Structure 1
Amino acid sequence: MTEIHDNPLDAPNADPFEIAAAAAADIARLTGVEKHDIALTLGSGWGRAAELIGETVATVPATEVTGFSRPALEGHVGTLRSIRTPGGKHVLVIGARTHYYEGHGVRRVVHSVRTAAAAGTRIMVLTNGAGGVRETWHAGQPVLISDHINLTADSPLEGATFVDLTDLYSRRLRDIARSVDPTLDEGVYTQFRGPHYETPAEVQMAKRIGGDIVGMSTALEAIAAREAGMEILGFSLITNLAAGIQSTPLSHGEVIEAGKEAEPVISALLARVVEQL
């Protein structure tokens, strides 16, 4: 008896790159745009940037594209949008992130990134909402990701695939971002498995091993983007200070509210940065 899988990525013998190529073909057909130049994954708080980047050519429900899952989290819109910038670049905006904690496996987590690469993009912009470890930061502050620590004990790479992660978050792209806003700070992103928030002790561990930001996404996606040959820019919106750094308990509602309050400012910032890429 043949086992039936709801998502082609779940089949044990599936080739995730063939499935990404099929997804890219779907996007080209559904949007009418054969090739995209830049891809953006918009996390909590960053969604309005899609309205400011340029002219929307097409918006596609992610579930119409091969291999994409329905988003499980409030604040993620579940669409893929093709946008043409005033400078004539085609931007693929991914509003359909699959988080590691959903339990679907790493292939599904990084499928959007591999699809973006198959669609021709050479620059991957990854954004998220996250907790800040530095006491000098505040809720609503955007920071650049300079590096990451992957605490998921997992990897999107399969088999004997060895990929250099030096300068994973491109210094060149960070310099471009700072040319738009010289006040941007940067830090090391630490991806935990989730979905529970980190304990104060875990936050202190992250701090001691060099982490400045704690969250539940991005690192695995960045590794897959590097494997695909893309240049990566990472942004975190500090939605709250992490457990033990701030005195009040953490809540997802707080994250959503901080994202809504910061959205106009950070979205305008991101749109200006994209125009310079």
Structure 2
Amino acid sequence: MMTTVKMIQESAEWIKQQAEMKPIVGLILGSGLGDLADEIEKAVYLSYENIPHFPTSTVAGHKGQLVVGTLEGIPVMAMQGRFHFYEGYSMQEITFPVRVMKELGCESLIVTNACGGMNENFQPGDLMIIDDHINFTGGNPLIGENLDEYGPRFPDMSTTYTPALRDHAFEAAEKLGQTIQRGVYAAVSGPTYMSGAELIMLRKLGGDVVGMSTVPEAMVARHMSMNILGISCITDMAIGETIEGITHQEVMEVAAKAKPRFKALVRHVLASGDRRLWNQKEEE
């Protein structure tokens, strides 16, 4: 199903009727990290199944709802659970909420995920700021008719992740006494975890971590000139030469242990930033 401007506007209008607050930052909360949305103040909870044209999340651990309110004084819209290519949705469907966020006024996106670490200097429980990505999903959410109202036919992806937001996140981590990594996120389709040979290939191509999300949403956000900050939670080591089996339950357990540091980082990033970091229109 191809996304149309009318669909985006209808979803946005329905959300406006339920929540009066105009968000400026969108949050996509990955596996095991969705509890941050429970800390949003003046919150309005909207189930995906009630929002026109929204898919529904089928992954264990994803609550499947939008939360609109304020976090550290910043108007936000958070997704408690995202959609994935491996669930059978099209690339346009899994990125549809990002389009709606932009329509509602979000000029920035914080996108998070749980992932496997391919860089031998990383370890489970580390947080990583995404510098760049490799799209190895086999798909692209911008294929098809271009939505000219939101962005150009051929958007540039050379600086997908906003340098100022990356720098700000590292400053916030330093103030918190956190040591965080930085690197390249390699996105694959899933739902299978990677073979040893595949992991070796992705690492040789330049990937530091591997996961099944984030990149499609970032590409669509970049298409719409949104500011983007990507944060990965490394839940297991995916070293091709010494790979060990991993289950989704184990991923969730490690993400849960890292959750306090993750929440503290995101909250501090929001609290300590100049509002112009988040609201691009104020910079223009």
Q: Is TM (by shorter chain) over 0.5?
A: yes
Q: Contact between 2:117 and 2:209, CA under 8 Å: does it hold in 1?
A: yes
Residue 15 (structure 1) shift? 4.3
AA paired with 1:192?
V
Residue 245 (structure 1) shift? 5.7
User: Residue 58 in 1 paired to residue 18 in 2?
Assistant: no
Match of 2:162 among 152, 167, 170: 170
User: Residue 196 in 1 paired to residue 192 in 2?
Assistant: yes
Residue 57 (structure 1) shift? 2.6
AA paired with 1:50?
A
Q: How does 1:31-46 map to 2 (within 5 A)?
A: 31-33=19-21, 35-46=22-33
TM-score, reference length from structure 2? 0.88
Residue 45 (structure 1) shift? 2.6
Percent identity over the alignment is 33
2:110 maps to 125
1:140 maps to 125
Q: Contact between 1:56 and 1:84, CA under 8 Å: does it hold in 2?
A: yes
Residue 243 (structure 1) shift? 5.1
Alpha-carbon displacement from aligned partner over 1:99-153 (angstroms, at most 9, x marks no partner): 0111121111101111111111000111000000112211111100110000112
How large is the Cα RMSD of the aligned pairs? 1.6
AA paired with 2:43?
V
Q: Contact between 1:38 and 1:91, CA under 8 Å: does it hold in 2?
A: yes
Q: Contact between 1:140 and 1:259, CA under 8 Å: does it hold in 2?
A: yes
Match of 1:224 among 203, 220, 235: 220
2: CA distance between counterparts of 1:86 and 1:191? Answer: 31
TM-score, reference length from structure 1? 0.90
Residue 246 (structure 1) shift? 5.1
2: CA distance between counterparts of 1:228 and 1:63? Answer: 25
1: CA distance between counterparts of 2:81 and 2:7? Answer: 16
AA paired with 1:46?
L
Q: Secondary structure at the match of 2:234?
A: strand
Q: Secondary structure at the match of 2:240?
A: coil
Q: Contact between 1:48 and 1:264, CA under 8 Å: does it hold in 2?
A: no
Match of 1:244 among 230, 240, 246: 240
Stretches of structure 2 that go unaligned for 5 or more consecutive residues are: 147-152, 279-284
1:269 maps to 265
2:282 maps to none
1:156 maps to 141
AA paired with 1:149?
I
Q: Contact between 2:23 and 2:69, CA under 8 Å: does it hold in 1?
A: no
AA paired with 2:168?
I
User: Residue 215 in 1 paired to residue 201 in 2?
Assistant: no
Q: Contact between 1:45 and 1:262, CA under 8 Å: does it hold in 2?
A: no
Alpha-carbon displacement from aligned partner over 1:71-97 (angstroms, at most 9, x marks no partner): 11011110100121343x210001141
2: CA distance between counterparts of 1:142 and 1:73? Answer: 22
2: CA distance between counterparts of 1:112 and 1:56? Answer: 21
Q: Secondary structure at the match of 2:105?
A: coil
2:18 maps to 30
Q: Contact between 1:243 and 1:250, CA under 8 Å: does it hold in 2?
A: no
